[in-house]
Chain A
Amino acid sequence: MARESGIISWKELNPGTAITEPGNAAELKTGDWRSMHPETDRGKCIKCGQCYIFCPDMVYAKDEEGYYVQNYYWCKGCGICARECPVAAIKMIEEVD
Protein backbone atom coordinates (compact mmCIF):
# COMPACT_ATOMS: atom_id res chain seq x y z
CA MET A 1 0.00 0.00 0.00
CA ALA A 2 2.78 2.42 0.98
CA ARG A 3 4.59 1.96 -2.33
CA GLU A 4 1.39 2.52 -4.33
CA SER A 5 0.37 5.64 -2.41
CA GLY A 6 3.65 7.05 -1.11
CA ILE A 7 1.97 7.40 2.31
CA ILE A 8 4.61 6.38 4.85
CA SER A 9 5.66 7.25 8.40
CA TRP A 10 8.23 10.01 9.02
CA LYS A 11 10.45 7.27 10.45
CA GLU A 12 10.59 5.49 7.09
CA LEU A 13 11.55 8.54 5.03
CA ASN A 14 15.06 8.55 3.61
CA PRO A 15 17.33 11.29 4.97
CA GLY A 16 16.37 14.54 3.28
CA THR A 17 13.44 12.74 1.59
CA ALA A 18 15.89 11.40 -0.98
CA ILE A 19 14.67 8.88 -3.53
CA THR A 20 17.13 6.02 -3.54
CA GLU A 21 15.46 3.73 -6.09
CA PRO A 22 15.64 5.23 -9.59
CA GLY A 23 12.39 4.94 -11.55
CA ASN A 24 10.20 4.18 -8.55
CA ALA A 25 7.55 6.60 -9.85
CA ALA A 26 6.31 3.53 -11.76
CA GLU A 27 5.09 2.13 -8.44
CA LEU A 28 3.04 5.20 -7.55
CA LYS A 29 -0.60 4.57 -8.39
CA THR A 30 -1.70 7.77 -10.08
CA GLY A 31 -4.70 5.99 -11.63
CA ASP A 32 -6.89 6.75 -8.65
CA TRP A 33 -6.58 10.49 -9.27
CA ARG A 34 -8.82 10.46 -12.33
CA SER A 35 -12.49 11.27 -12.82
CA MET A 36 -12.56 10.20 -16.50
CA HIS A 37 -10.73 7.49 -18.43
CA PRO A 38 -9.90 7.13 -22.13
CA GLU A 39 -11.36 4.33 -24.27
CA THR A 40 -10.23 3.58 -27.82
CA ASP A 41 -12.63 2.64 -30.65
CA ARG A 42 -10.56 0.08 -32.57
CA GLY A 43 -12.80 0.54 -35.62
CA LYS A 44 -11.53 4.10 -35.98
CA CYS A 45 -7.94 3.62 -34.70
CA ILE A 46 -5.21 3.90 -37.37
CA LYS A 47 -2.41 2.73 -35.00
CA CYS A 48 -0.49 6.00 -35.49
CA GLY A 49 0.79 6.08 -31.89
CA GLN A 50 0.02 9.78 -31.25
CA CYS A 51 -1.64 8.79 -27.94
CA TYR A 52 1.54 6.94 -26.93
CA ILE A 53 3.72 9.94 -27.87
CA PHE A 54 1.62 12.58 -26.10
CA CYS A 55 0.70 10.66 -22.92
CA PRO A 56 2.62 12.30 -20.03
CA ASP A 57 2.46 9.15 -17.89
CA MET A 58 3.50 6.28 -20.18
CA VAL A 59 0.00 4.82 -19.98
CA TYR A 60 -0.01 3.50 -23.56
CA ALA A 61 1.87 0.42 -24.77
CA LYS A 62 1.68 -1.32 -28.14
CA ASP A 63 0.05 -4.75 -28.22
CA GLU A 64 0.70 -7.66 -30.62
CA GLU A 65 -1.84 -6.37 -33.16
CA GLY A 66 -0.25 -2.91 -33.17
CA TYR A 67 -2.99 -1.15 -31.17
CA TYR A 68 -2.03 1.09 -28.22
CA VAL A 69 -3.65 -0.06 -25.00
CA GLN A 70 -4.02 1.83 -21.74
CA ASN A 71 -2.58 0.84 -18.38
CA TYR A 72 -5.11 2.43 -16.01
CA TYR A 73 -2.77 2.02 -13.00
CA TRP A 74 -1.08 5.26 -14.11
CA CYS A 75 -3.77 7.05 -16.17
CA LYS A 76 -4.74 10.31 -14.43
CA GLY A 77 -7.51 10.97 -16.95
CA CYS A 78 -5.96 14.17 -18.31
CA GLY A 79 -7.51 13.64 -21.75
CA ILE A 80 -4.49 14.69 -23.82
CA CYS A 81 -4.68 11.44 -25.83
CA ALA A 82 -8.33 12.07 -26.74
CA ARG A 83 -7.53 15.67 -27.69
CA GLU A 84 -4.56 14.70 -29.89
CA CYS A 85 -5.99 11.60 -31.62
CA PRO A 86 -6.14 12.62 -35.34
CA VAL A 87 -9.15 10.38 -36.07
CA ALA A 88 -11.10 10.98 -32.84
CA ALA A 89 -10.89 7.30 -31.92
CA ILE A 90 -10.40 8.00 -28.20
CA LYS A 91 -13.29 9.12 -25.99
CA MET A 92 -13.14 10.20 -22.37
CA ILE A 93 -15.68 8.23 -20.31
CA GLU A 94 -16.81 9.40 -16.88
CA GLU A 95 -15.90 7.14 -13.97
CA VAL A 96 -19.13 5.82 -12.48
CA ASP A 97 -18.19 4.61 -8.97
Chain B
Amino acid sequence: MSERVGIEVSLAVAEAVGLCDVDVVAAYPITPQTHIVEHLSELVAEGRLDAEFIPVESEHSAMSACVGSSAAGARTFTSTSSQGYALMSEVCFIASTLRLPIVMAVANRALSAPISIWNDHADLMFARDSGWIQLVATSGQQAVDLSVMAFRIAEDKRVSLPVQVNLDGFIMSHVIEPLFLPDAEEIKRFLPPFQPLLRLDPARPITIGPVGMPDVYTEARKAHDEVLKASKAVILEVFDEFAKQFGRRYELIETYRVEDADTIIVAMGSISQTASTAVDAMREKGLRVGMASICLFRPFPAAELAGVIGRAKNLVLLDRATVFAGGEISGPVALEVKSALFDRGLSPKVANFLVGLGGRDVTQQNFEEMVERVVTAKNGDLPPYEFINVRE
Protein backbone atom coordinates (compact mmCIF):
# COMPACT_ATOMS: atom_id res chain seq x y z
CA MET B 1 0.00 0.00 0.00
CA SER B 2 1.31 3.41 -0.98
CA GLU B 3 1.63 6.40 1.33
CA ARG B 4 -0.90 9.18 1.53
CA VAL B 5 0.55 12.42 0.18
CA GLY B 6 -0.65 16.01 -0.02
CA ILE B 7 -0.57 16.93 -3.70
CA GLU B 8 -2.44 19.14 -6.14
CA VAL B 9 -5.00 16.99 -7.93
CA SER B 10 -3.79 18.04 -11.42
CA LEU B 11 -0.26 16.92 -10.57
CA ALA B 12 -1.58 13.69 -9.08
CA VAL B 13 -3.52 12.94 -12.27
CA ALA B 14 -0.36 13.60 -14.32
CA GLU B 15 1.67 11.35 -12.00
CA ALA B 16 -0.94 8.58 -12.38
CA VAL B 17 -0.90 8.90 -16.17
CA GLY B 18 2.90 8.73 -16.05
CA LEU B 19 2.74 5.60 -13.90
CA CYS B 20 0.45 4.05 -16.55
CA ASP B 21 3.51 4.18 -18.83
CA VAL B 22 1.79 6.27 -21.47
CA ASP B 23 3.65 6.34 -24.82
CA VAL B 24 2.40 9.60 -26.33
CA VAL B 25 1.03 12.81 -24.83
CA ALA B 26 -0.18 15.40 -27.34
CA ALA B 27 -1.78 18.39 -25.70
CA TYR B 28 -2.18 22.13 -25.74
CA PRO B 29 -2.32 24.05 -22.47
CA ILE B 30 -5.62 25.64 -21.48
CA THR B 31 -6.85 26.80 -18.09
CA PRO B 32 -7.75 25.01 -15.83
CA GLN B 33 -6.24 21.88 -17.33
CA THR B 34 -2.74 23.33 -17.85
CA HIS B 35 -1.07 21.85 -14.77
CA ILE B 36 -1.83 18.32 -15.97
CA VAL B 37 0.04 18.57 -19.29
CA GLU B 38 2.65 20.89 -17.82
CA HIS B 39 3.55 18.25 -15.26
CA LEU B 40 3.55 15.48 -17.88
CA SER B 41 5.96 17.52 -20.01
CA GLU B 42 8.17 17.90 -16.91
CA LEU B 43 8.11 14.15 -16.33
CA VAL B 44 9.22 13.56 -19.93
CA ALA B 45 11.87 16.33 -19.86
CA GLU B 46 13.33 15.02 -16.60
CA GLY B 47 13.55 11.52 -18.02
CA ARG B 48 11.13 10.13 -15.44
CA LEU B 49 8.65 9.15 -18.16
CA ASP B 50 9.74 7.49 -21.40
CA ALA B 51 7.12 9.02 -23.69
CA GLU B 52 6.79 11.26 -26.71
CA PHE B 53 5.46 14.66 -25.68
CA ILE B 54 4.07 16.47 -28.73
CA PRO B 55 3.65 20.21 -28.05
CA VAL B 56 1.04 20.90 -30.71
CA GLU B 57 -0.25 24.29 -31.92
CA SER B 58 -3.91 23.75 -31.04
CA GLU B 59 -6.36 21.30 -29.51
CA HIS B 60 -7.54 20.29 -32.97
CA SER B 61 -3.98 19.20 -33.68
CA ALA B 62 -3.71 17.61 -30.24
CA MET B 63 -6.58 15.24 -30.87
CA SER B 64 -5.43 14.65 -34.46
CA ALA B 65 -1.98 13.61 -33.19
CA CYS B 66 -3.69 11.40 -30.60
CA VAL B 67 -5.74 9.68 -33.32
CA GLY B 68 -2.55 8.94 -35.27
CA SER B 69 -0.57 7.69 -32.31
CA SER B 70 -3.37 5.54 -30.94
CA ALA B 71 -3.96 4.05 -34.41
CA ALA B 72 -0.25 3.20 -34.53
CA GLY B 73 -0.67 1.25 -31.28
CA ALA B 74 0.69 3.76 -28.75
CA ARG B 75 -0.93 4.32 -25.35
CA THR B 76 -2.11 7.90 -25.76
CA PHE B 77 -3.20 10.65 -23.39
CA THR B 78 -4.37 14.22 -23.73
CA SER B 79 -6.17 16.75 -21.62
CA THR B 80 -8.29 19.83 -22.25
CA SER B 81 -11.03 22.17 -21.02
CA SER B 82 -13.93 24.17 -22.43
CA GLN B 83 -12.90 26.14 -25.55
CA GLY B 84 -10.08 23.63 -26.08
CA TYR B 85 -12.63 20.84 -26.18
CA ALA B 86 -14.76 22.91 -28.55
CA LEU B 87 -11.83 23.26 -30.94
CA MET B 88 -10.88 19.57 -30.81
CA SER B 89 -14.44 18.28 -30.89
CA GLU B 90 -14.45 17.58 -34.64
CA VAL B 91 -11.70 15.02 -34.19
CA CYS B 92 -13.19 13.61 -30.95
CA PHE B 93 -16.21 12.33 -32.87
CA ILE B 94 -13.82 10.59 -35.27
CA ALA B 95 -11.65 9.05 -32.53
CA SER B 96 -14.60 7.25 -31.00
CA THR B 97 -16.11 5.73 -34.12
CA LEU B 98 -12.60 4.68 -35.19
CA ARG B 99 -12.51 2.85 -31.82
CA LEU B 100 -9.26 4.43 -30.63
CA PRO B 101 -8.73 4.00 -26.86
CA ILE B 102 -7.37 7.48 -26.12
CA VAL B 103 -7.67 8.71 -22.54
CA MET B 104 -8.43 12.39 -21.95
CA ALA B 105 -8.73 14.32 -18.71
CA VAL B 106 -11.18 17.20 -18.97
CA ALA B 107 -10.83 19.84 -16.26
CA ASN B 108 -14.42 21.04 -16.63
CA ARG B 109 -14.89 24.70 -17.40
CA ALA B 110 -17.72 26.90 -18.70
CA LEU B 111 -17.98 27.73 -22.40
CA SER B 112 -17.77 31.33 -23.63
CA ALA B 113 -19.44 33.83 -23.92
CA PRO B 114 -18.89 35.67 -21.67
CA ILE B 115 -15.34 34.39 -21.38
CA SER B 116 -15.15 32.29 -18.23
CA ILE B 117 -12.23 30.21 -17.07
CA TRP B 118 -14.30 28.90 -14.15
CA ASN B 119 -15.98 25.63 -13.50
CA ASP B 120 -19.24 24.22 -14.80
CA HIS B 121 -20.22 21.26 -16.99
CA ALA B 122 -20.78 22.94 -20.37
CA ASP B 123 -17.83 21.08 -21.93
CA LEU B 124 -18.91 17.75 -20.46
CA MET B 125 -22.39 18.22 -21.96
CA PHE B 126 -20.96 19.38 -25.27
CA ALA B 127 -19.05 16.07 -25.44
CA ARG B 128 -22.14 14.07 -24.55
CA ASP B 129 -22.98 12.74 -28.02
CA SER B 130 -19.40 12.22 -29.20
CA GLY B 131 -19.49 8.46 -28.53
CA TRP B 132 -16.84 8.55 -25.78
CA ILE B 133 -17.13 6.96 -22.37
CA GLN B 134 -17.53 9.80 -19.84
CA LEU B 135 -16.44 9.21 -16.26
CA VAL B 136 -17.00 11.95 -13.69
CA ALA B 137 -14.89 12.29 -10.54
CA THR B 138 -16.36 13.41 -7.23
CA SER B 139 -12.98 13.74 -5.47
CA GLY B 140 -9.30 14.15 -6.29
CA GLN B 141 -8.64 10.56 -5.23
CA GLN B 142 -11.34 9.39 -7.61
CA ALA B 143 -9.90 11.54 -10.43
CA VAL B 144 -6.54 9.79 -9.95
CA ASP B 145 -8.06 6.33 -9.70
CA LEU B 146 -10.36 6.88 -12.69
CA SER B 147 -7.35 8.01 -14.74
CA VAL B 148 -5.72 4.62 -14.11
CA MET B 149 -8.93 2.68 -14.69
CA ALA B 150 -9.65 4.70 -17.84
CA PHE B 151 -6.73 3.09 -19.67
CA ARG B 152 -7.83 -0.38 -18.70
CA ILE B 153 -11.45 0.29 -19.72
CA ALA B 154 -10.48 2.01 -22.97
CA GLU B 155 -7.99 -0.66 -24.04
CA ASP B 156 -10.14 -3.65 -23.13
CA LYS B 157 -10.74 -5.44 -26.45
CA ARG B 158 -14.48 -5.65 -25.74
CA VAL B 159 -14.50 -1.84 -25.55
CA SER B 160 -11.70 -0.16 -27.51
CA LEU B 161 -13.23 3.29 -27.13
CA PRO B 162 -11.83 6.61 -25.94
CA VAL B 163 -12.51 7.58 -22.34
CA GLN B 164 -12.94 11.02 -20.77
CA VAL B 165 -12.13 11.55 -17.12
CA ASN B 166 -14.00 14.67 -16.03
CA LEU B 167 -12.80 16.60 -13.01
CA ASP B 168 -14.14 19.99 -11.96
CA GLY B 169 -11.84 22.83 -12.97
CA PHE B 170 -10.16 24.68 -10.05
CA ILE B 171 -12.61 23.29 -7.48
CA MET B 172 -10.94 19.93 -7.93
CA SER B 173 -8.06 20.37 -10.36
CA HIS B 174 -6.25 23.00 -8.29
CA VAL B 175 -6.99 21.71 -4.81
CA ILE B 176 -4.25 20.12 -2.74
CA GLU B 177 -5.79 16.94 -1.42
CA PRO B 178 -4.33 14.20 0.75
CA LEU B 179 -4.52 11.15 -1.47
CA PHE B 180 -2.97 7.80 -2.28
CA LEU B 181 -0.84 7.60 -5.41
CA PRO B 182 -0.63 4.03 -6.62
CA ASP B 183 2.92 2.78 -7.16
CA ALA B 184 4.32 1.69 -10.49
CA GLU B 185 4.50 -2.01 -9.61
CA GLU B 186 0.87 -2.08 -8.50
CA ILE B 187 -0.19 -0.39 -11.74
CA LYS B 188 1.84 -2.87 -13.80
CA ARG B 189 -0.15 -5.69 -12.24
CA PHE B 190 -3.43 -3.87 -12.88
CA LEU B 191 -2.87 -2.56 -16.39
CA PRO B 192 -1.70 -5.02 -19.06
CA PRO B 193 0.32 -3.73 -22.04
CA PHE B 194 -1.79 -2.08 -24.76
CA GLN B 195 -2.68 -4.47 -27.56
CA PRO B 196 -4.80 -2.66 -30.13
CA LEU B 197 -7.59 -4.36 -32.10
CA LEU B 198 -6.03 -3.04 -35.30
CA ARG B 199 -2.79 -1.18 -35.84
CA LEU B 200 -1.38 1.04 -38.58
CA ASP B 201 1.67 -0.91 -39.70
CA PRO B 202 3.53 -0.44 -43.01
CA ALA B 203 4.28 -4.17 -43.08
CA ARG B 204 0.55 -5.01 -42.98
CA PRO B 205 -1.22 -2.02 -44.49
CA ILE B 206 -4.83 -1.24 -43.57
CA THR B 207 -7.12 1.73 -44.17
CA ILE B 208 -8.55 3.56 -41.15
CA GLY B 209 -11.29 6.12 -41.58
CA PRO B 210 -12.63 5.40 -45.07
CA VAL B 211 -15.78 7.01 -46.48
CA GLY B 212 -19.05 5.38 -45.37
CA MET B 213 -21.69 5.34 -48.09
CA PRO B 214 -25.39 5.39 -47.08
CA ASP B 215 -25.39 1.58 -47.21
CA VAL B 216 -22.79 1.26 -44.42
CA TYR B 217 -23.11 4.40 -42.23
CA THR B 218 -26.09 3.08 -40.25
CA GLU B 219 -24.27 -0.20 -39.59
CA ALA B 220 -21.16 1.71 -38.44
CA ARG B 221 -23.26 3.75 -35.99
CA LYS B 222 -25.08 0.63 -34.77
CA ALA B 223 -21.75 -1.14 -34.16
CA HIS B 224 -20.44 1.88 -32.21
CA ASP B 225 -23.63 2.10 -30.15
CA GLU B 226 -23.52 -1.62 -29.33
CA VAL B 227 -19.93 -1.44 -28.12
CA LEU B 228 -20.70 1.63 -25.96
CA LYS B 229 -23.66 -0.26 -24.47
CA ALA B 230 -21.47 -3.29 -23.78
CA SER B 231 -18.83 -1.11 -22.12
CA LYS B 232 -20.94 -0.70 -18.96
CA ALA B 233 -20.33 -4.32 -17.95
CA VAL B 234 -16.59 -3.88 -18.53
CA ILE B 235 -16.54 -0.65 -16.48
CA LEU B 236 -18.19 -2.49 -13.57
CA GLU B 237 -15.67 -5.31 -13.94
CA VAL B 238 -12.75 -2.86 -13.89
CA PHE B 239 -14.19 -1.00 -10.86
CA ASP B 240 -14.39 -4.39 -9.14
CA GLU B 241 -10.82 -5.41 -10.06
CA PHE B 242 -9.59 -2.02 -8.88
CA ALA B 243 -11.36 -2.43 -5.54
CA LYS B 244 -9.80 -5.87 -5.06
CA GLN B 245 -6.30 -4.65 -5.80
CA PHE B 246 -6.29 -1.11 -4.41
CA GLY B 247 -9.02 -1.30 -1.77
CA ARG B 248 -11.01 1.65 -3.08
CA ARG B 249 -14.44 0.80 -4.45
CA TYR B 250 -16.33 3.03 -6.88
CA GLU B 251 -19.90 2.80 -8.12
CA LEU B 252 -21.64 4.07 -11.24
CA ILE B 253 -24.03 5.90 -8.91
CA GLU B 254 -22.54 6.84 -5.56
CA THR B 255 -25.06 7.33 -2.80
CA TYR B 256 -25.27 9.05 0.56
CA ARG B 257 -28.05 8.35 3.08
CA VAL B 258 -30.58 7.40 0.37
CA GLU B 259 -32.00 4.25 2.01
CA ASP B 260 -34.94 5.91 3.80
CA ALA B 261 -34.86 9.26 1.97
CA ASP B 262 -38.07 10.96 0.85
CA THR B 263 -36.09 13.54 -1.09
CA ILE B 264 -32.95 12.74 -3.09
CA ILE B 265 -30.56 15.27 -4.57
CA VAL B 266 -29.07 14.01 -7.85
CA ALA B 267 -25.68 15.59 -8.48
CA MET B 268 -22.57 15.06 -10.56
CA GLY B 269 -18.94 15.88 -9.82
CA SER B 270 -17.40 17.72 -6.87
CA ILE B 271 -20.68 19.43 -5.95
CA SER B 272 -21.71 16.03 -4.52
CA GLN B 273 -19.43 16.71 -1.56
CA THR B 274 -21.23 19.96 -0.67
CA ALA B 275 -24.52 18.14 -1.21
CA SER B 276 -23.50 15.44 1.30
CA THR B 277 -22.69 18.09 3.91
CA ALA B 278 -26.07 19.72 3.24
CA VAL B 279 -27.77 16.31 3.58
CA ASP B 280 -26.24 15.90 7.07
CA ALA B 281 -27.43 19.37 8.10
CA MET B 282 -30.97 18.72 6.84
CA ARG B 283 -31.05 15.28 8.51
CA GLU B 284 -30.28 17.00 11.81
CA LYS B 285 -33.38 19.12 11.27
CA GLY B 286 -35.39 15.92 10.74
CA LEU B 287 -35.68 16.04 6.95
CA ARG B 288 -35.23 12.69 5.26
CA VAL B 289 -32.86 13.76 2.50
CA GLY B 290 -30.25 11.74 0.59
CA MET B 291 -27.86 12.27 -2.30
CA ALA B 292 -27.02 10.29 -5.46
CA SER B 293 -24.03 11.21 -7.56
CA ILE B 294 -23.68 10.19 -11.21
CA CYS B 295 -20.11 8.95 -11.82
CA LEU B 296 -20.68 7.64 -15.34
CA PHE B 297 -22.49 9.94 -17.77
CA ARG B 298 -21.89 7.94 -20.96
CA PRO B 299 -22.99 5.22 -21.23
CA PHE B 300 -25.79 6.50 -18.97
CA PRO B 301 -26.49 4.01 -16.13
CA ALA B 302 -30.26 4.51 -16.18
CA ALA B 303 -31.10 1.18 -14.52
CA GLU B 304 -28.68 1.72 -11.63
CA LEU B 305 -29.90 5.28 -11.14
CA ALA B 306 -33.59 4.30 -11.18
CA GLY B 307 -32.75 1.54 -8.68
CA VAL B 308 -31.35 4.15 -6.29
CA ILE B 309 -33.80 7.04 -6.69
CA GLY B 310 -36.94 5.22 -7.88
CA ARG B 311 -38.60 5.06 -4.44
CA ALA B 312 -38.07 8.72 -3.49
CA LYS B 313 -41.09 11.05 -3.41
CA ASN B 314 -39.16 14.15 -4.38
CA LEU B 315 -36.10 14.69 -6.53
CA VAL B 316 -33.78 17.68 -6.76
CA LEU B 317 -31.96 17.36 -10.08
CA LEU B 318 -28.89 19.53 -10.51
CA ASP B 319 -27.58 20.79 -13.81
CA ARG B 320 -24.32 22.68 -14.12
CA ALA B 321 -24.89 23.70 -17.73
CA THR B 322 -27.62 25.65 -19.46
CA VAL B 323 -29.90 24.10 -22.03
CA PHE B 324 -31.22 26.49 -24.64
CA ALA B 325 -34.41 24.76 -25.64
CA GLY B 326 -37.06 27.40 -25.08
CA GLY B 327 -37.76 26.76 -21.41
CA GLU B 328 -40.27 23.94 -21.88
CA ILE B 329 -37.91 21.04 -21.16
CA SER B 330 -35.35 20.46 -18.39
CA GLY B 331 -31.56 20.74 -18.24
CA PRO B 332 -29.30 18.05 -19.72
CA VAL B 333 -28.82 15.84 -16.66
CA ALA B 334 -32.47 16.20 -15.66
CA LEU B 335 -33.56 15.10 -19.15
CA GLU B 336 -31.59 11.86 -18.78
CA VAL B 337 -32.92 11.24 -15.29
CA LYS B 338 -36.51 11.94 -16.29
CA SER B 339 -36.17 9.67 -19.30
CA ALA B 340 -34.80 6.86 -17.10
CA LEU B 341 -37.77 7.27 -14.73
CA PHE B 342 -40.42 7.58 -17.47
CA ASP B 343 -39.21 4.37 -19.13
CA ARG B 344 -39.80 2.58 -15.82
CA GLY B 345 -43.20 4.09 -15.13
CA LEU B 346 -41.91 6.22 -12.25
CA SER B 347 -43.07 9.80 -11.73
CA PRO B 348 -41.83 11.39 -8.50
CA LYS B 349 -42.10 15.14 -7.94
CA VAL B 350 -39.13 16.64 -9.73
CA ALA B 351 -37.44 20.03 -9.48
CA ASN B 352 -34.54 20.84 -11.76
CA PHE B 353 -32.11 23.62 -10.89
CA LEU B 354 -29.36 25.21 -12.94
CA VAL B 355 -26.61 25.83 -10.42
CA GLY B 356 -22.92 26.65 -10.22
CA LEU B 357 -22.67 28.15 -13.69
CA GLY B 358 -19.33 29.68 -14.70
CA GLY B 359 -17.81 29.18 -11.26
CA ARG B 360 -20.70 30.48 -9.12
CA ASP B 361 -20.49 28.94 -5.63
CA VAL B 362 -23.27 26.62 -4.52
CA THR B 363 -23.73 26.75 -0.79
CA GLN B 364 -25.28 24.50 1.81
CA GLN B 365 -28.00 27.17 2.12
CA ASN B 366 -28.74 26.79 -1.61
CA PHE B 367 -29.28 23.04 -1.15
CA GLU B 368 -31.68 23.68 1.71
CA GLU B 369 -33.64 26.13 -0.46
CA MET B 370 -33.81 23.66 -3.33
CA VAL B 371 -35.02 20.83 -1.09
CA GLU B 372 -37.63 23.11 0.49
CA ARG B 373 -38.82 24.15 -2.95
CA VAL B 374 -39.50 20.60 -4.12
CA VAL B 375 -40.97 19.46 -0.79
CA THR B 376 -43.43 22.35 -0.49
CA ALA B 377 -44.42 22.69 -4.16
CA LYS B 378 -47.65 21.14 -5.39
CA ASN B 379 -47.18 18.53 -8.08
CA GLY B 380 -47.53 20.28 -11.41
CA ASP B 381 -46.45 23.66 -10.05
CA LEU B 382 -42.77 23.15 -10.73
CA PRO B 383 -41.39 24.53 -13.98
CA PRO B 384 -39.13 22.35 -16.18
CA TYR B 385 -36.12 24.07 -14.55
CA GLU B 386 -35.19 27.12 -12.49
CA PHE B 387 -32.02 29.15 -12.10
CA ILE B 388 -30.75 29.21 -8.53
CA ASN B 389 -28.93 32.14 -7.06
CA VAL B 390 -29.68 34.51 -9.94
CA ARG B 391 -29.98 38.26 -9.24
CA GLU B 392 -33.27 39.76 -10.41
Contacts and interface: CB of A to CB of B under 8 A. Distances in A.
Partners in one complex: yes
Contact of B206 (A6, A8, A18): A18
B99 A20 contact: no
Given A6-B215, A10-B220, A15 B160 contact: yes
B153 interface: no
Main secondary structure of the interface of B (DSSP, over half): loop
Interface in A1-26: 5-11, 13-20, 22
Contacts of A10: 218-220, 222-223, 226
A8 B198 contact: no
A17 B215 contact: no
A16 B205 contact: no
Nearest to A14: B198
B219 A13 contact: yes
A69 to B, nearest CB: 29
A46 to B, nearest CB: 37
B231 interface: no
Contacts of B218: 10
Given A15-B160, A15-B198, A16-B98, A22 B206 contact: yes
Nearest to B208: A18
B216 interface: yes
Contacts of B222: 10
A28 to B, nearest CB: 10
A16 B216 contact: no
Contacts of B210: 17-19
Nearest to A11: B223
A42 B209 CA distance: 43
B99 A6 contact: no
B216 A6 contact: yes
B209 A16 contact: yes
Which one of A14, A16, A18 has the highest number of Cβ atoms from chain B below 10 Å of its Cβ?
A: A16
B207 interface: yes
Contact of B197 (A13, A15, A19, A22): A15
Interface in A65-82: none
B206 A7 contact: no
A14 B216 CA distance: 12
Contacts of A19: 206-207, 210
A17 B210 CA distance: 7
B112 to A, nearest CB: 33
Contact of A17 (B100, B160, B216): B216
B204 to A, nearest CB: 8
A18 B215 contact: no
Interface in A34-91: none
A16 B197 CA distance: 10
Given A15-B197, A19-B206, A9 B219 contact: yes
A16 B226 contact: no
13 contacts: A5-B215, A7-B215, A8-B219, A9-B219, A10-B218, A15-B160, A16-B198, A16-B209, A17-B209, A18-B206, A18-B208, A22-B205, A22-B206
